[in-house]
Amino acid sequence: MKLNIVLILMLCLALVSCAGPKAAESKEVSNTPKTSKKLIVGYAQIGAESEWRLANTRSIQEAAKAENIELLFTDCMQKQENQIVAIKSFIAQKVDYIAFSPVIESGWNDVLTAAQKANIPVIIVDRKANVDENLYKTFIGSDFYEEGRKAAIEMAELLNKKGNICEIQGTLGSDAATKRKMGFEDELKKNYPNMKIVRSEVGDFYREKGNEIMKSFLKAEAKNIDGLFAHNDEMALGAIEEIEAYGIKPGVDIKVISVDAVSKEILETIKTGKINASAECNPYLGPLLFETIRKIERGEKVQKNIYSDESIVTTKNVDEYLRKISY
């Protein structure tokens, strides 16, 4: 009987001895701070139609990596239907944020309403969309109207406030093309009545189309063209190839102004004088995008429109921009 009691006591001591370290280990683990959840952001990019867009994509991808944010990136190849499919996919995957650059302004209400119902905040980047403001958190990008206005002022100075201008537009219905055209035309009507746009065609921001359209302009009325306003650098570069092929000096016989001022090629072309100026449109929006997301995560208030600080590049200041160029 005594022997049984001793054995029972010894067994209890052994169990306590074994349980001790495990209890201590469990306590140590419970006090370890939990790591924060890695954010997942879905981005529906327009495409890869220009040097500007490629620089914009690199900026977004590199900034996501630097911020340790998982980026689900889709190149939508200049098609709105592809962007809508991508956004629906992001919603289905329950990402934390959706960001996109809309290829055109209209047609986004349904898919952004779906994102709102899924409690996924949306950030619009680069180009604006014509939707209710409650469907997105903020817009990050450039003031396209101001770019067009700056281009008109520069053109007026080059032409001594008098002349006929041809215009190569970006994608019809896109925020960038609509606002750049509006800003340019409004400035002419307001302050330069002796300047007018005599021809205007859509080039979709592609260099090849800029070349084709310029060929048609020159064929129709080469002697009547004093200036060319192209909605981006790629179309302007395509256009000056055709101007030279026609036997006219770009930047001299026909003044040329574009928008973007991003690539080394356009800056060097401005330096030669073949393109007179380019209104700056900052593509490096990645850091600002993810900085804004971090602010929203912290509960901070963000502005509805966040614009980049931009200027216009001419032969007078192009060297400054060439020194800063990163590729």
Quick: pLDDT tens for 114-146: 999 999 999 999 999 999 999 999 999 999 999
Query: Which band of pLDDT confidence, cut at 50, 70 and 90, is reported for residue 279?
Result: very high
CB neighbourhood size of 316 (10 A):
10
pTM listed for this prediction: 0.81
Locate 85 and state its tokens.
């499919």
Classified as helix, coil or strand, 179 is: helix
DSSP 8-state code for residue 105: S
Flag whether pLDDT at 11 surpasses 60. Answer: no
Q: Which residues contact 239 (CB under 8 A, 6 or more apart)?
A: 168, 210, 211, 213, 214, 228, 230, 250, 256
Segment 222-236 mean pLDDT? 97
Place of tokens 């620089």: 55
Flag whether pLDDT at 292 surpasses 50. Answer: yes
Segment 321-326 mean pLDDT? 79
Q: Which residues contact 129 (CB under 8 A, 6 or more apart)?
A: 102, 105, 106, 108, 112, 136, 175
pLDDT tens track for 15-50: 334 344 333 333 333 333 334 679 999 999 999 988
pLDDT tens track for 149-172: 999 999 999 999 999 999 999 999
Flag whether pLDDT at 316 surpasses 90. Answer: yes
Q: Which residues contact 208 (CB under 8 A, 6 or more apart)?
A: 238
pLDDT tens track for 59-81: 999 999 999 999 999 999 999 99
Phi/psi of residue 7, nearest 5 degrees: -65, -40
CA angle 296, 299, 302 (to 5 degrees): 50
Strand 277-280: give its sheet, edge to edge.
195-202, 163-169, 227-230, 255-260, 277-280, 312-314
Flag whether pLDDT at 264 surpasses 90. Answer: yes
Query: Which band of pLDDT confidence, cut at 50, 70 and 90, is reported for residue 108?
Result: very high
Flag whether pLDDT at 12 surpasses 60. Answer: no
pLDDT of residue 36: 60
pLDDT of residue 53: 95
pLDDT of residue 1: 44
